[in-house]
Structure 1
Amino acid sequence: MPTITIQERSEQIGSEAVSDWVEVTQGMIDQFAEATGDHQFIHVDPAKAAMTPFGGTIAHGFLTLSLMPLLSAKTALPTIAGVKMGVNYGGNKVRFLTPVRSGKRVRGRFKLLELTEKRPGQWQQTNEFTVEIEGEDKPAMIAEWISQIFV
């Protein structure tokens, strides 16, 4: 994986990176339900969920959002030299457009919208994060996400 400086990354506004495909399994959905306490039947009961318009279980919207680090790691984005840590700052908007059915594959599309130095060694990055579902026209989710990078 190539390494670039934070200044070089700040010159890549508008650039996109796309991840490899990742399968969203029922096991992942069940583990997320356990971790969050969200055991709604559309996520964890295949028999009941089969009787809904979804035709089976679907991933939690927040599980879809939480795939951001995994999908980001599966891109060819260069490593930024000297990073001490990165933290989530928040989202300007998040929209869940299409449910992710258990067993479907998703990938992330990351578009750098902004990267500015807030104070020496602290940068704020805004990305458009889109989760695409293999074989479907409409994405699962689109988010504008902000993170802080400390170098």
Structure 2
Amino acid sequence: MPATVITGADGVRALVETALGPSGWELITQDRVNKFADATGDNQWIHVDVARATRDSAFGEPIAHGYLTLSLIPLLLPQIVEIRGFTMGVNYGCEKVRFPAPVLVGSRVRATAVIDEVTDVTGGIQMRITATIEIEGNPKPACVATVLLRRYV
């Protein structure tokens, strides 16, 4: 169950600039990393070759793909906030994405979010949200992304 439940465009607007979250923790396993590599074709050794990543990488073990971390936003954001009163929602894009710290396999991550802005679009609203993916025990985030999400009535 999300920590915050809001209804309609006015409910979303009421939360602009409010810190939301955190979500629950999500474990990043080697299996998850391997499946992401298979799905995307990004089989770089720092992600999928455990022996080589442990031996040769600057991180001392395999790391998750940055885009895997980014792709967790649709999983983690609904744990933070449930937006009711719309018939559908779509991902409209990203304005800015940064990966300040690597996610080591075996780490746990969670998200926080801030709704930065809400604008009207034909048939609904567009939200500009800054989502931050935190790594348990690490002061630097794994990912900070400004995403655009639309909700239609």
CA contact 1:92–1:146 (8 Å) conserved in 2:
yes
One-letter code aligned to 1:43: H
CA contact 1:6–1:80 (8 Å) conserved in 2:
no
Calculate percent identity across the aligned residue pairs: 42
Q: Can you give the 5+ residue segments of structure 1 that lack an aligned partner in the other structure?
A: none
Aligned counterpart, 2:98: 95
Q: Aligned residues, how many?
A: 148
Aligned equivalent of 2:109, options 106, 110, 125: 106
Aligned equivalent of 1:71, options 73, 76, 80: 76
CA contact 2:6–2:12 (8 Å) conserved in 1:
no
Aligned equivalent of 2:52, options 48, 51, 72: 48
Give the C-alpha shift of residue 126 in structure 1: 0.4
CA contact 1:114–1:127 (8 Å) conserved in 2:
yes
Deviations 1:83-111 (A, max 9, x none): 22111111111011101000100001111
Give the C-alpha shift of residue 3 in structure 1: 4.7
State the TM-score, normalizing by the size of structure 1.
Answer: 0.93
CA contact 2:18–2:115 (8 Å) conserved in 1:
yes
Q: Can you give the 5+ residue segments of structure 2 that lack an aligned partner in the other structure?
A: none
Residue 120 of structure 2 aligns to a residue whose secondary structure is: strand
Residue 74 of structure 1 aligns to a residue whose secondary structure is: helix
State the TM-score, normalizing by the size of structure 2.
Answer: 0.92
Alpha carbon RMSD of aligned pairs, Å? 1.2
Aligned counterpart, 2:17: 14
2-side partners of 1:34 and 1:78: how far apart?
Answer: 31
Q: For 1:27-42, what aligned pairs fall within 5 Å after superposition?
A: 27-42=31-46
1-side partners of 2:131 and 2:91: how far apart?
Answer: 13
Give the C-alpha shift of residue 148 in structure 1: 1.2
